Amino acid sequence: MSDVLTFIISRFNYWIYIVLMMIGLYAMIAKRNYVKKFIGMSIFQTAIILFYVSTGVKSGATIPILEHGHDIGHAAAAINPDHYANPLPHVLMLTAIVVGVATLGVALAVVQKVHDQYETIEEPEILFKLGQE
Amino acid sequence: MSENLPFLVIAAPLFGALVASLVGWARPRYCYAIAMVSLAAGLTAAIALLVKVSGTVSGYEYRLGGWPPPIGIQHWVDPLSALILVVITAVAFLAVMSARANLQLELPGKERFVYPLMLLMVTGLSGMTLTGDAFNLYVLLEITSLSSYALVAIGRGRAAASCLNYIIMGTIGASFYLLGVGYLYLKTGSLNMIDLRQIMIAGDMHGSQTVITGFILITVGFWIKMGLYPLHGWLPNAYSFAPHAASNLMAPLMTKVSVYVSLRMMLSVFTPDFLAVHALWAQTALLVATIAIIAGSLIAYSQTDVKKLLCYLVVAEVGYMAGGMWLMNRAGITGTIYHIAADAFMTCCLFLGASGLIASTGSRHIRSFRGATRRMPWTFAAFLVGGLSMIGVPPTCGFFSKWFLIQGAIEGGAWHFVAALIFSSLINALIFFRIIELAYFKDVEHEDDVSHPPQVQRNEAPWGIRIPLFITSVVIVLLGVFSPRVINWIERFVDSVGVT
Amino acid sequence: MNIQYLPVVAVSISLLAVPLIILLNKKPNLREAVSLLAGVVKLGCVIALVPHVLNGEQIEIVLWEFEAGLPIAFRVDGLGLLFAFVAASLWIVTTAYSIGYMRTTKSKNLTRFYSYFAISLAATLGVAFSANLLTLYLFYEALSLATFPLVTHNGDGEARSGGRRYLYFLLTTSIGLVLPAMLYIYGQVGDLNFQPGGVLVDSGMSQTTLLVLLLAFVFGFAKAALMPFHGWLPGAMVAPTPVSALLHAVAVVKVGVFSILRIITGIFGTDFMAQVNWHEIVTWVAAGTVVISSLIALSQDNLKRRLAYSTIGQLAYIILGASLLTDRAVTGSSLHILMHAFGKITLFFCAGAIYVASGKKYISQMVGLGRIMPWTMAAFLIGSMSVIGLPPTGGFVSKWLLLMGALDARMNAVVVVYLVSSLLNAAYFLPIVFRGFYVPGDDPTKPVKMKEAPLWCLIPLWITALISIALFFLSDTAIRLIEVFLGVGV
Which residues on chain B are in Cβ contact (under 8 Å) with A133?
157-158
Residue C125 forms beta bridges with which residues?
none
Q: Are C382 and C422 in contact (CB under 8 A)?
A: no
The answer as to whether B412 is a domain residue is yes
Residues of chain C with pLDDT under 50: 489-490
pLDDT at residue A73, as a whole number: 56
Handedness of CA C28, C29, C32, C34 (dihedral sign): negative
Which one of C106, C160, C171 has the shortest CB-CB distance to B437? C160
Q: Are B251 and B91 in contact (CB under 8 A)?
A: no
Residue B359, C-beta contacts closer than 8 angstroms, at least 6 positions apart: B101, B102, B105, B244, B461, B462, B465
Among B489, B488, B461, B481, which residue's Cα sits nearest to residue B378? Answer: B461
Flag if C187 and B411 touch (Cβ within 8 Å).
yes
**B156 contact A CB<8A:** no
Which one of B157, B163, B178 has the shortest CB-CB distance to A96? B178
Residue C448, C-beta contacts closer than 8 angstroms, at least 6 positions apart: C368, C371, C372, C441
Which residues on chain B are in Cβ contact (under 8 Å) with A124?
none
DSSP, collapsed to helix, strand or coil, labels residue C73 as strand
The answer as to whether B404 is a domain residue is yes
Given the DSSP bridges, would you call strands C59-67 and B74-77 parallel, antiparallel or unpaired?
Answer: unpaired
Reported as type and span, the H/E element at residue B460 is none
Distance in angstroms (rounded) separating the CA atoms of residues B50 and C223 = 45
**B287 contact A CB<8A:** no
SS (H, E, C) C211-238: HHHHHHHHHHCHHHCCCCCCCHHHHHHH
Q: Before B395, cis peptide (omega within 30)?
A: yes
Given the DSSP bridges, would you call strands C59-67 and B60-63 parallel, antiparallel or unpaired?
Answer: unpaired
**C435 contact B CB<8A:** no
pLDDT digits (tens, 9 = 90+) for C103-142: 777 777 788 888 888 888 889 989 989 988 888 998 998 8
Mean pLDDT, all residues of chain A: 81
Tell me how far the alpha carbon of residue C383 is from its chain's centroid.
Answer: 15
Among B471, B390, B485, which residue's Cα sits nearest to residue B432? Answer: B390
pLDDT at residue B107, as a whole number: 80
Distance in angstroms (rounded) separating the CA atoms of residues B188 and B186 = 6
The answer as to whether B213 is a domain residue is no
Tell me how far the alpha carbon of residue A3 is from its chain's centroid.
Answer: 30
Torsion of the alpha carbons at B76, B78, B84 and B89, rounded to the nearest 10: 60
Report the chain C residue with the minimal C-alpha distance to residue B403: C183
pLDDT at residue B488, as a whole number: 84
Which residues on chain B are in Cβ contact (under 8 Å) with A31?
none
The answer as to whether B9 is a domain residue is no
Distances (CA, A) of A7 to A28, A52, A60: 30, 20, 21
Per-residue pLDDT tens, chain B, 500 aa: give them. Answer: 567 788 888 889 999 999 988 888 888 888 888 889 999 999 999 998 888 887 766 667 777 666 676 666 777 788 888 899 999 999 999 999 888 888 888 887 788 888 999 999 999 999 999 888 888 899 999 999 999 999 998 888 788 888 888 999 999 999 999 999 988 888 888 888 888 888 888 888 777 888 888 899 999 999 999 888 888 888 888 888 888 888 999 999 999 999 999 998 888 888 888 888 888 888 899 999 999 999 999 999 998 888 999 999 999 999 999 999 898 888 889 999 999 999 999 999 999 999 988 888 878 888 878 777 777 888 888 999 999 999 888 788 888 898 889 988 988 888 899 999 999 998 998 898 888 888 877 554 444 444 444 556 677 778 888 889 999 999 999 988 888 888 888 888 888 877 76
Phi, psi for C226 (deg, rounded to 5) = -75, 135
Helices within B4-77 (DSSP H only): 5-26, 30-53
The answer as to whether B428 is a domain residue is yes
Radius of gyration of chain C (CA): 21
The answer as to whether B122 is a domain residue is no
The answer as to whether B230 is a domain residue is no
pLDDT at residue B444, as a whole number: 46
Helix and strand numbers, DSSP H then E, in chain B: 21, 2
Handedness of CA B294, B300, B301, B303 (dihedral sign): positive
pLDDT at residue A69, as a whole number: 57
Distance in angstroms (rounded) separating the CA atoms of residues C281 and C267 = 18
Among C270, C285, C283, C277, which residue's Cα sits nearest to residue C211? Answer: C277
**A23 contact B CB<8A:** no
Which residues on chain A are in Cβ contact (under 8 Å) with B231?
none
Q: Within 13 Å and on the Cβ side, how many CA atoms surround C375?
A: 17
Task: Return the residue in C175, C177, C184 with the most chain B beta carbons within 10 A, the one to mutate for interface testing.
Answer: C175
Helices within B227-305 (DSSP H only): 234-241, 244-264, 271-277, 279-301
Q: Are B112 and B20 in contact (CB under 8 A)?
A: yes
Q: Are C432 and C360 in contact (CB under 8 A)?
A: no
Tell me which amino acid residue B269 is.
Answer: V
pLDDT at residue C187, as a whole number: 82
pLDDT at residue B460, as a whole number: 78
Flag if B161 and A51 touch (Cβ within 8 Å).
no
Domains along chain A with CATH numbers: 12-132 (1.10.287.3510)
pLDDT at residue B453, as a whole number: 47
Which one of C160, C175, C184 has the shortest CB-CB distance to B426? C175
Tell me how far the alpha carbon of residue A97 is from its chain's centroid.
Answer: 7
* Mutual angle of helices C303-324 and C327-358, in 10-degree steps: 170
Report the chain C residue with the minimal C-alpha distance to residue B400: C66
SS (H, E, C) C305-332: HHHHHHHHHHHHHHHHHHHHCCHHHHHH
Domain limits for position B400: 278-500
Helix and strand numbers, DSSP H then E, in chain A: 6, 0
> How many residues would you count in chain A?
133
**B172 contact A CB<8A:** yes
Which residues on chain B are in Cβ contact (under 8 Å) with A130?
158, 161
Angle A14-A20-A23 from CA coordinates, rounded to 5°: 140
The DSSP symbol for B107 reads: -
Torsion of the alpha carbons at B264, B293, B440 and C305, rounded to the nearest 10: 130
Q: Within 13 Å and on the Cβ side, how many CA atoms surround B53?
A: 28
A67 has pLDDT over 70: no
Residues 168-207 of chain C with CB under 8 A from chain B are 168, 171-172, 175-176, 179-180, 183-184, 186-187
Handedness of CA A79, A85, A86, A90 (dihedral sign): negative
Q: Do chains B and C touch (3 or more CB pairs under 8 A)?
A: yes
Among C247, C265, C267, which residue's Cα sits nearest to residue C256? Answer: C247
Q: Please name the chains neighbouring C, where neighbouring means 3+ C-beta pairs under 8 angstroms.
A: B
Radius of gyration of chain B (CA): 22
The answer as to whether B242 is a domain residue is no
- Number of domains making up chain B: 1
**C155 contact B CB<8A:** yes
**B185 contact A CB<8A:** yes
